[in-house]
Amino acid sequence: MLIGICKISLYLPNSHSLKDKRTILAGYTNLLRKRYNISIAEIGQKNSWKKSTIGIACVNDNRRLIDRIMEKIISHTEIQPEIQLLDYWFSIN
């Protein structure tokens, strides 16, 4: 069993309150959860209006599949109109 872990730092330029941030992140995380069958949660900067840190976990026995899923998630995040990708870190254990 292999576990892929990804930490993503995001900037939300259109967020003007915590309610805006949560609305944007809820749509983003629900879409990724359904599309890629992953576990995802906000793990940092919870009280900031404009920034967020997201944690993602993917479990599988195929290293290439985990790598492909994480690459797709990063690519999908880069094209989001309401979210800007600042940085990410990825590991398979």
CATH numbers and ranges of domains, the chain: 2-92 (3.30.70.1120)
Amino acid identity, position 84? Q
Write down the pLDDT at residue 52.
Answer: 96
Helix axes 18-36, 63-78, angle to 10 degrees: 140
**d(Cα 51, Cα 38) in Å, to the nearest integer?**
22
Vertex 44: Cα angle to 59 and 77 (nearest 5)? 60
Pair 51, 9: CB distance under 8 Å: yes
pLDDT-derived band at 12 (thresholds 50, 70, 90) equals very high
Q: What is the pLDDT of residues 36-91, one digit of tens each?
A: 999 999 999 999 999 999 999 999 999 999 999 999 999 999 999 999 999 999 99
* Tokens of residue 28, six digits: 């983003």
